[in-house]
Structure 1
Amino acid sequence: MKPERNAKQALAMIGRWKSETEGNIAIIFALLTIPLFLLMGFAVDLQQVNTSKNRVQYILDSAVIAGAREMQAGKSDEKIKKYIKNYFESAMKAQGNNVDCADPVSTIVSDSQDISVTVKCDQPTSIMHLMGTREIAFGVTSASTYGIGKVDIAFVFDVSGSMYGSKMSALKDAADTAIDVLIPEDDDGTTGEVRISMASYSSMVDAGDDYFKKVTNLNPSRTYYYTYTDRQKVGEETYCRRYRRNGTCRRWGTRDVYDDVEVTESKTINNTCVKERIGDEQFTDEDPGAYAWIEAAEAYGYMQNGRVKWYEETCNPIGPLPMTSNRDKLFDYIDDLNATGGTAGHLGIAWGWYLIAPDWDTVWPAGSDPYPYDEPDSAKAMIIMTDGEFNTQYDSSEGNSFEQSQKMCDAIKAEDIKVYTVAFNAPKAGQQILAYCASGDDFAFTPESSEELKEAYTKIAQSISDLRIRY
């Protein structure tokens, strides 16, 4: 019985201890709750500050980019500062932040094209104000250097028949706007070097009088032949028209002799239209030397109603414009665009690449030779446009125009060329290939109206300008 009595006594002692200490534990817990609550409150407030700081940083970075664009447009320092201030305040208001920020302070060094902007803000607290801290101050800084880079750009225009009329007018207006953004009228060259080239395509590409022989090893004026078999008179023979009874000839006559004769007719054409590249270099930017020719347009003879007819391959006669910073040349090229023919999109993509490809410096004139891919402080960009689906090809051994375009775009993007695409009121197939070619979702545009087309080209031009802004 003794062990049972010891156990009862132990339980009684625990009960008395519990009743005597229960009040003390409650007091200790209550005292600990206050600092724990404040600690959690501090964490919440600090997290809010961090979130607000990141948001303000993003807005300030955007304001600096906007200011750099104003610098590109040749605005004065005071106008740039005012623009940055208005941009920042408008963006903050649109975000609905409860952060109280002072006016951004901008510093501009015109000689080096540097912009530095600092803003100081106060974040109201949620919990810490109970301890007397009503706000937490933080600062954000953003800076950029503009105009230290070189940009080689290729515009690629669809000038097939479906672009006739209002579509072509809208394209010209949008392209002019892009030129104004990329090379402002009062640009004195201190903001870096922007060179723009242009190519257009329809059923083929016109290589241009100055470049056709370099890429085909043929002359613009060339002769094609068609050989066929024709039954022709080859002579005459004497024959007896009337015999005597004894078998001798009473009256002699002559008649024509006919035989199958090979006949060759010729057709001389004079154009500078080209088709796909042939050989192992079909999807590269290798120099178009003697072993990497590009196929030229041809003429084909055929028989119709006993006579030879000729079919001549032709294209929209708009040759390429090698890279230039001359606004007048660019505007003139755009003005001369016209619409006719099919849509060989893979050829347009190829020639857009050739215009900015370093190895093609043997083709283009001095001053238009592209920079090497690894040129310091440089970038390359292409803008590919269509309003239809790619439906014309000549060499199908590598697939149709859609499939050849995919291979070409893969090779272009592998060289870190930024590819922007514009599918202007295009069908699904046209949108699909341009989405594939684009450097990302943000690089692919699908405008449906002339206003949206102009907006797309403006955004692309601004984005390309941003390639020259360094943080």
Structure 2
Amino acid sequence: MSRALRDRRGVSAVAFAITFAVLAPMSLGLFDVYQANEQHGKLQDALDAATLYAARSSATDNPTINSIGSKALAANLQLVPGATLTSSSFTLVNNNTQVQAQAAVQLSAFSPMAGHSPVQVSSEVTRNGNNIEVAMVLDNTGSMAGSPLSSLQSAANQLIDLVVSNTQTPFYSKIAVVPYSNAVNVGAYAATVRGVPITAPSPIAAPCIDLPGCTKMKFTTASGSPPTFNVSSCVSERTGAQAFTDASYNGAPVGWVYPAADNPCIGATIQPLSSNKTTLHNMIGTLTAGGSTAGHIGVAWGWYMLSPNWGGLFPSGSQGAAYGTPNTLKVVILMTDGAFNTAYCKGAISNPSSATDGSSGGSNEHAACASPNGDSFTQAQSLCSAMKAAPNNVIIYTVGFLHGGADPQAQAILANCATDAAHAYLPTTGAALQVAFQAIAADLNKLRISH
């Protein structure tokens, strides 16, 4: 017993056992924290790479972006032994300009931290993209009355919601609206772009006979009668060397309009480029149907809305960027429900020089002269060709709303004006019109994120 009491050979074993009982869990815990930190870093790196890859794609819907991101995550993710990827998601936000992603990994079931929350990370990437300036040129003629106009308003409002981003950085998206019928009403801009009318003497005397520029104009009609019409805030095409260019209105003013009582100036006025959805929706709500079809004037003003040469006419936030500005696209959406049939000569609807020129109204309302630029169809083609050419490079979508049946003339105009066949739409119902505008909006969103 005495020797046993003096024996120290087992003391170290007992001490080791006591120490091990305390240090082993601590060691395992430290190892587990190390694993969790290591997995967090690997997961974050993989998710960042996958989010960046997804952002570089042209996807514009969540199912597609999620599929692209998930595949990229799976290809890049390295898991520590026993860990499992439990969830991941990739979603588009801010009108598809950003990709947000989340992912979670559960550590091994044998880990002391297995019952704890999984390792979670998130990532966000702003997509490379483009600024986009869009001018919607919308037919408000008499044939659009009733349900066709309601369908157009619904389609235009949907496009506004889909294209105008809630976040205007780092890239902006703006829309202008040009309603047209027998002319384009430019409202308060009229005096600047066509001149200030002088008060006509009474009785009417020169220079207010067959010469625009007065508050009233007496003109010689095709029938020989001399009616007197009042000036309006609508404008017609310009003539001369700048007829088919976007040269500034300074030195090259647009034409005057003296409308007949049965074919008055359109009520809705132009809306310059804006990113304010409320302003744009309110403007669409003012559209009313009436009058004949001067589509070429609508085309011209669609171009002017985007042109840097016309920027000084509008507030600073509504001015088109300079041609060639990096990452900036200019787009016109031209919509009509029929052939163009109205051109002008000296402020009055011109005497027909072809089957499609000045065909609205009677000869007692037409000027005796023909349009110096040719018919509305010819003018529209010239404007579209100039718009699409370098350095302007305006992208043109056309929409022929053929709710009244096929219209070969309208279809020819639209086919020739469109950038190519993929940019031309021919819906025949209100529902199809909305689908066409939705397809254009989706395409614009793809253009906005291309690089």
The sequence identity of aligned pairs, in percent, is 32
Cα RMSD after superposing both structures: 3.8
The TM-score normalised by the length of structure 2 is 0.62
1:388 is paired with a residue of what secondary structure? Answer: coil
Aligned residue number for residue 427 of structure 1: 407
- Whole-Å separation in 2 of the counterparts to 1:413 and 1:225: 48
Cα shift readout 1:362-398 (whole Å, capped 9, x = no counterpart) = 2112211110011111110000000010011114222
**Structure 1 116/332 Cα, relative in aligned 2: closer, same or farther at 3 Å?**
closer
1:367 is paired with a residue of what secondary structure? Answer: helix
**Structure 1 470/63 Cα, relative in aligned 2: closer, same or farther at 3 Å?**
closer
Aligned residue number for residue 151 of structure 1: 132
Aligned residue number for residue 339 of structure 2: 389
Cα shift readout 1:266-285 (whole Å, capped 9, x = no counterpart) = 96836201111122101010
CA contact (8 A) 1:286 1:359 kept: yes
Aligned residue number for residue 18 of structure 2: none
Post-superposition offset of 1:293:
1.5
**Structure 1 87/266 Cα, relative in aligned 2: closer, same or farther at 3 Å?**
farther
Aligned residue number for residue 369 of structure 1: 319
- Whole-Å separation in 2 of the counterparts to 1:146 and 1:205: 38
- Whole-Å separation in 1 of the counterparts to 2:326 and 2:243: 29
- Whole-Å separation in 1 of the counterparts to 2:247 and 2:308: 9
2:173 is paired with a residue of what secondary structure? Answer: strand
Note the residue ranges of structure 2 that are not aligned, 5 or more in a row.
1-52, 73-87, 102-124, 207-225, 346-370
CA contact (8 A) 1:213 1:220 kept: no
Cα shift readout 1:76-131 (whole Å, capped 9, x = no counterpart) = xxx8753657999xxxxxxxxxxxxxxxx9889999967699xxxxxxxxxxxxxx
Aligned residue number for residue 292 of structure 1: 252
- Whole-Å separation in 1 of the counterparts to 2:287 and 2:144: 10
| Matching of residues 177-192 of structure 1 within 5 Å | 177-184=158-165, 187-190=166-169, 192=171
Aligned residue number for residue 146 of structure 2: 165
Deviates more, 1:454-463 or 1:214-223: 214-223
**Structure 1 81/441 Cα, relative in aligned 2: closer, same or farther at 3 Å?**
closer
**Structure 1 106/157 Cα, relative in aligned 2: closer, same or farther at 3 Å?**
same
CA contact (8 A) 1:344 1:393 kept: yes
| Matching of residues 16-415 of structure 1 within 5 Å | 64-66=57-59, 68-70=60-62, 81-82=65-66, 84=68, 146=127, 148-184=129-165, 187-190=166-169, 192-208=171-187, 210-219=188-197, 226=204, 269=230, 271-289=232-250, 291-298=251-258, 314-395=264-345, 396-414=371-389, 415=392
- Whole-Å separation in 2 of the counterparts to 1:113 and 1:333: 26
Aligned residue number for residue 439 of structure 1: 419
- Whole-Å separation in 2 of the counterparts to 1:223 and 1:146: 62
- Whole-Å separation in 1 of the counterparts to 2:300 and 2:266: 16
**Structure 1 441/116 Cα, relative in aligned 2: closer, same or farther at 3 Å?**
farther
CA contact (8 A) 1:81 1:106 kept: no
CA contact (8 A) 1:316 1:340 kept: yes
CA contact (8 A) 1:153 1:195 kept: yes
**Structure 1 372/169 Cα, relative in aligned 2: closer, same or farther at 3 Å?**
same
**Matching residue's letter, 1:215:** V
Larger Rg: 1
**Structure 1 113/314 Cα, relative in aligned 2: closer, same or farther at 3 Å?**
closer
- Whole-Å separation in 1 of the counterparts to 2:153 and 2:401: 13
Cα shift readout 1:134-192 (whole Å, capped 9, x = no counterpart) = xxxxxxxxxx97354211110000000000001001101111111111025xx232462
**Matching residue's letter, 2:322:** P
**Matching residue's letter, 2:232:** N
- Whole-Å separation in 2 of the counterparts to 1:220 and 1:86: 69
**Matching residue's letter, 1:269:** N
**Structure 1 157/222 Cα, relative in aligned 2: closer, same or farther at 3 Å?**
farther
CA contact (8 A) 2:140 2:180 kept: yes
**Matching residue's letter, 1:429:** Q
Aligned residue number for residue 448 of structure 1: 428
2:175 is paired with a residue of what secondary structure? Answer: strand
CA contact (8 A) 1:272 1:297 kept: yes
2:282 is paired with a residue of what secondary structure? Answer: helix
Note the residue ranges of structure 1 that are not aligned, 5 or more in a row.
1-59, 71-78, 89-104, 118-143, 229-264, 300-309
- Whole-Å separation in 2 of the counterparts to 1:399 and 1:145: 49
Deviates more, 1:402-411 or 1:190-199: 190-199
2:338 is paired with a residue of what secondary structure? Answer: coil
- Whole-Å separation in 2 of the counterparts to 1:293 and 1:224: 27
The TM-score normalised by the length of structure 1 is 0.59
1:192 is paired with a residue of what secondary structure? Answer: coil
**Structure 1 321/114 Cα, relative in aligned 2: closer, same or farther at 3 Å?**
closer
CA contact (8 A) 1:157 1:384 kept: yes
Aligned residue number for residue 10 of structure 2: none
- Whole-Å separation in 2 of the counterparts to 1:182 and 1:448: 24
